Amino acid sequence: MRRVAAVREAVGPDVKLYVDANCGLDLFHATELAHRIEPYGISFFEEPLTQNDVRQMAQLRSRTRIRWRAARTRAWPSASATCW
């Protein structure tokens, strides 16, 4: 969290920031991180969940206000979804 806070402080409120978890979090940790970065005005949270699990994406969407994006994967090479 200190890194996100430091970047936000350095660039100010007018610069869009993105956080990319590289599909590295489970639902619990993705939700916790989303809640912790919301105050920093993150524009979107990319690939928050392992394997871009569709059911968990729906749950994450209902648990946080932050926008997130799931990009293409080997399983879904032509898929890309953004949840606003």
pLDDT at residue 35 greater than cutoff 90? yes
Radius of gyration of the chain (CA): 13
pLDDT 10s digits, 40-71: 999 989 999 988 788 998 999 999 988 888 86
**pTM, full prediction:** 0.79
Cα separation of 19 and 61, whole Å?
16
> With the CA atoms of 48, 68, 46 and 11 taken in that order, what torsion angle do they form, in degrees rounded to the nearest 10?
-120
